[in-house]
Amino acid sequence: MNDSSAVQFGAVTIVLLLVVFYGGTYAISRVIRKKKENADEYMTAGNKIGFGISAASMTATWIWASSMYASASSGYEYGVSGPIHYGLWGALMILFIYPFGKRIRSVAPKAHSIAEVMYARHGRSSQLMLAGSNVVGSVISLMSNFIAGGVLISMLSPFNFIQGVLAVAAGVLLYTLWSGFRASVLTDFIQVMAMLGAVAVIVPFIFFAAGFPAAFETGAQNLTPAQGSFFSSEAFLGQGAPYIAAVLAYAIGNQTIAQRLFAVREDLIKPTFLTATIGYGAMVIGVGMIGVLALYLGFEPSNGDVNNIIPEMAASYLPGILLAVFFVMIIGALSSTADSDLAALSSIMMADVYGQNVAGKEKANPKTMLFIGRLTMILASAVAVAFASLQLNILDLLVFVGALWGALVFPVLASFYWGKVTNKAFTTAVIAALVIFIPVRFELVPLVGPLGILVDILSAVGIAVILGLMSFGFFGLRVAKIVAGAALLLSAPFVIGFLHDYATLSASLVAYAVSTLVCYFMSFRQKDDFDFSLIRKRTGDFDESEDEDTVVAEAADAPGAADRSAVAIDDSPRSSGGSASVPKKEDN
């Protein structure tokens, strides 16, 4: 039963908390702001971020308010196994990024986005397809974070939902606009340290204030048998399995992740992602248990909206001072991801749209790029605020976007390892997967009879693809083939005949299967192999620093410098990228 004595802040208190939080982050961004801003620094911070900042930023980006809300929603809907399925698989997906990340950085050490690398690898259509999916994904992510902020503020203050959304959007934009990605990663470090400390205090306090552990004994009757089982098949098929598929796609296709991959020092990729794995899992599972507690207590969120569980539980059981800490924790969580989305969107428009397709790499003006990046942040915030007013279910949004990106996973990864993948194969595979994904996901056609069996067969193939890719990252191609084959044979008898009843899971698996099959069969007969060294030459900095220009000028004046500087220029990503900025037909 909901607590009628829930704490609520006054308008002045909420305004002061927002001013302190966003004012502080803005002050930090002003400290790192440069008088003469550099376009590449604005997008990737010079590819040299250290371990502490990068690990904290990766953790903060993956831990957003939506993760906390969705984990609690999963616990409320599926019981004790819900947060485990949400947090554990999400954490493991961070772990699975790093072997692929090392390969991506080795072939494109100075890139700004995965889409930019796809341009160097294939051409314009593949690049824009990946960039377009990231624009959609980042706007949805931005919107869901604004929803979380609006819900929180409306629950804890006299302000309404829309006013809360506007306050959060303005605050995030305030400190991210000027320094871009650099502001995002630096504030992430401070925010994640505060979040970890807050979770360690707040979650146990709510549990004991609500009568833990007695509440889990007296409230057991509020659970269905499936919710009370730690090994619930309903929880796995409804939450765990779709999320495994979704977060693998997030890991590979999401520009916010890729941006940090290109920003961290190359030798620190592994420890960065290992640390983020642990931090994410601990925090998200812990917060998700609030949803489980609410289920045991018979707690009914207002208007039946599961997005309200966390703020209402906090308001019901936390004293004023801890509620203020909780408020700042959630605002920090959503802001750390919202600023990442803004930085990701700006880099896509700067590097992929303007830098590669409008002006061309050699003619791109860094000042114009910065203007485009900042304008993108403003427009994206406005669009996200408009869509946030719809108050869609956050958990559904996350799974949908992840499943949508599933169509890209195999074509993108194969393009970094297999020289036979062509631009036509990439584009056709993704389009074919989306064409089949959409009607399955939204049940636009009845999945009965032969059509249902076909979806189940493709789902079994999708399971094999996902497990095969995971194995390939760590153990290589031979082990991946064995794991994929075994997964197909073992899953088929259990999957065929019933899995099509789970539209969300089936759609995700079908997207993986179709994109993989089309991409493979359109590529394996190709005779020419792509030269991966071309990617390094075709990607690189748009904005050379004055120091680099000075070094080149001084070297040119030295005896015998002509030969030495010619060699240096040929090897640099910047100069070589110019002559090969548009992939030639024969390279595909």
Structural contact between residues 62 and 90, judged by C-beta atoms closer than 8 angstroms: yes
The per-residue pLDDT for 1 is 41
Q: Alpha-carbon torsion 351, 270, 534, 120, what sign?
A: negative
Please tell me the pTM assigned to this model: 0.77
- Encoding tokens for residue 347? 């880099």
- Encoding tokens for residue 2? 């909901």
- Encoding tokens for residue 301? 């969120």
The per-residue pLDDT for 400 is 66
**By three-state DSSP, how is residue 144 classified?**
helix
What 408-411 contacts at long range (C-beta under 8 Å, 24+ apart), as own/partner pairs, is 408/129, 408/130, 408/133, 408/249, 408/252, 408/253, 408/515, 409/248, 409/249, 409/252, 409/253, 409/469, 409/512, 409/515, 410/465, 410/469, 410/512, 410/515, 410/516, 410/519, 411/126, 411/515, 411/519
Residue 360, C-beta contacts closer than 8 angstroms, at least 6 positions apart? 581, 582
The per-residue pLDDT for 579 is 35
C-alpha to C-alpha distance for 347 and 194, rounded to whole angstroms: 27
Q: Which domains does the chain have, with CATH numbers?
A: 4-391 (1.20.1730.10), 420-529 (no CATH), 533-581 (no CATH)
C-alpha to C-alpha distance for 223 and 210, rounded to whole angstroms: 17
The per-residue pLDDT for 544 is 60
The per-residue pLDDT for 564 is 35
- Encoding tokens for residue 366? 């860094």
C-alpha to C-alpha distance for 198 and 22, rounded to whole angstroms: 18
pLDDT block averages, 10 residues each, the chain of length 588: 60 93 85 66 78 83 76 89 86 84 90 87 86 84 86 88 93 85 79 80 90 85 85 81 76 80 87 88 89 91 83 89 88 86 90 81 82 92 87 64 77 94 93 90 86 95 94 93 96 91 88 95 91 88 52 37 34 35 40
Residue positions counted in the chain = 588
C-alpha to C-alpha distance for 44 and 344, rounded to whole angstroms: 10
The per-residue pLDDT for 581 is 38
The per-residue pLDDT for 86 is 84
Reference 202, options 309, 316, 323, 298; nearest CA is 323
Cis peptide bond N-terminal to 213, omega within 30: yes
DSSP type of residue 359? S
C-alpha distances out from residue 342 to 152, 380, 384, Å: 21, 7, 11
- Encoding tokens for residue 116? 């930019």
Residue with tokens 């889990």: 216
Residue with tokens 């269905």: 224
The per-residue pLDDT for 25 is 85
